[in-house]
Each structure stands twice: as structure tokens, then as C-alpha cells.
Amino acid sequence: MTGKASTKNDNRSVGTVPMRWHGDSLELLDQRLLPGEEHWITVEGAAGVAQCIRDMVVRGAPAIGITAAYGVALAARHCGSEDWQATIRRDMELLAASRPTAVNLFWALERMGQVLSACQSLHQARETLANEAVTIHREDVEANRRMADYALEVIGADKPVGVLTHCNTGALATGGYGTALGVIRRLHEEKCLRRVYADETRPWLQGGRLTAWELAQEGIPVTLNTDGAAATLMASGKVGWVIVGADRITANGDVANKIGTYSLAVLARHHGVRFMVAAPSSTVDMALQNGADIPIEEREAEELREFRGIQIAPPKVDVFNPVFDVTPASLIDAIVTERGAVHNPNITGMRSLFA
């Protein structure tokens, strides 16, 4: 591949991909405006990429990692020849500071950094870093498809099945297929899916704006529900599995994911509903012993006090707005990656697959 390689027309992808690479610029689908408007933002440097990640133009741990890799490629493309290694690495630090929780971001930057270290010239760096970013993008889609195959084996004979999911883990959150939503896509392809129940996922409503939109576009049967309706759905017997993604998984199998995931795991255990985490191996952070070690991002109070500029709470009320929570491994039936599945995860099972 060359630095001009593009994933725009990759026929392995499904639905609307969240990014388009053009060699000297990157287009990002502004997910803040979906489903009402499909607007693409063109960025030409690492600072713009970091700002888009920070502002949630692009979101979802795998998509953030891929986008950051393209940001490094842009840093090389647009830096001068003097002290180019140090300049690119300063841009990488800027990208690393954009979001603290999703380990895919740091995994992608570390991989790009290793490639950069081997480069002997700026010309080589521009070519090689662009190729590596495209490779990371392509590998993500392939990994998602393998993950879906393993997940179907885990679900086994319990089909057709009703699934409850949280946040958005589909094409928009990855390189173009999906983690938890990729599993749901495969269930639908194999005629093993009864229905998807999508939590609206407050406060950004990724389930309502993005997941419901993706599934409806593809004709996958979906019902949107408030986050607070999850227990009632489980009690009704309509849900056999909760399937979610992850932003970081620790060595003992604890999982950080979108706020509200922990609540779903507690509810699932009470109702006898099985709970699956589907995520790429790049989400696994074996350097962290357990969930207490995961840095949890807390965002601005205005995200709860307002919605698209409309005041929905008292303007000075105190706000607790963590973006993620940690689900203990003891509440998880299976963690599924492109490498395989860990059932009833613990440190022994995690080490056997990820050491």
C-alpha cells in the first residue's frame, strides 16, 4: 500500500464508516449530528484530529484508535524536515491527551511510535506511517468479523435470541463492522436473532441516535428503550443475552464501558440473563490488575444540564457525569475477542489468551 491508500470503498465494511482516509487529509463523520444530518469534517493535522476525538466527533474505542493512527500519519505528512521525529512525537502526545479511558487510543499510538522509531527519513516516515494506519484500520474490520464468529460459538444453541445492547458498538464505533453490534449483525445474517433492544444510552443518546439508526438502515429488527426499562425487559423474558463493547479490559477481566453497563450486568445476573463483552484484543490492558486501576473520564456538567443548547436542568445544580463505569469480571459470562473467548473471566483465563 502507499500513503494514498484509502479505506473508503473497503467492501469488508458494513454500513457507514466513521472515517475516510485521503492520504493528505482525513474525513470524519460528525456523529454528534446523527441521525438528523450526515456531515463530514475534513482535518489535515494531528491537532484537528485530537480536537475531534475530544469533542466526540468520533467515538467508540476502536474508532478512536484508528483515528489517532491516521492523526500520526497526518503529523508526518504536514511537519517540516527539521527535527521531524521530535515534532511528530509532540503531536502524538497531543493525541494521547485527547481521551483518557479507551486503551485502543494508546495501543494505536504505541504501534505507530514503534514504526516511527524505525524510520530513517521524513519521506520514509510519511510513507510508512500512512501504510500502518491503513493496516490498523483494515485489521480492525477483519478482527471484528472473527470476533463475531467466536461469539456465535459462545451463544451456542440458545438461538434465535433476543439481545439487549448499550451505547453504540457498530460500524460507527469501529473501522466499519462492529464489536457487540458486529455480533448482532452476524446473528441476523445467520437468522439467529429474534430482536435487538437498544438502550438509548444517556446523556449522549448513542443508542437512540446511532445504534437504532445503524440497525434500521440494515433492516435488523430493533426496539429502542429508555435505559431505565432494561430491568422490565429482562423480567419479561424477551432478552437472552446482554452484549456490550468495552473501552478497557484489565488483567483480571474487569471491564470499563459506557456508563450504565455495570447496572445492566447486575440486572442480568438477577434475571438469569447472560452477559457478553465483545471487544478487540487491543482493548485488553494486561498492565492493569483490575478495574480500580482504570482512569475514568468525567465530562462537563453541561452535558447533563443541557441538550443541544436547551436547558433541561437547573443551571447551577451539581453534576456527576462519568463517561464510563467498571463491570466486575464476576458479573461477566464471556469476554470475546478476535483471539477467542474467555468464559467466566478471571486472571488465569485472561493470561491464557492474552499473555
Cα torsion through 261, 151, 111, 75, rounded to 10: -70
With contact defined as beta carbons under 8 Å apart, do 2 and 131 qualify?
Answer: yes
**What is the C-alpha R_g of the chain?**
20
User: Cα–Cα distance between 324 and 302 in angstroms, integer?
Assistant: 17
Q: Which of 140, 199, 247, 285 is catalytic?
A: 247
User: Cα–Cα distance between 257 and 15 in angstroms, integer?
Assistant: 23
Q: Which residues does 117 contact at the CB level (< 8 Å), separation at least 6?
A: none
> What are the cell numbers at 123?
519521506
User: Cα–Cα distance between 205 and 167 in angstroms, integer?
Assistant: 7
With contact defined as beta carbons under 8 Å apart, do 169 and 60 qualify?
Answer: yes
Q: Quick check: is 91 catalytic?
A: no
Q: What is the DSSP string of 261-301?
A: HHHHHHHHHHHT-EEEEE--GGGEETTS-SGGGS---B--T
Supply the residues annotated as catalytic: 247
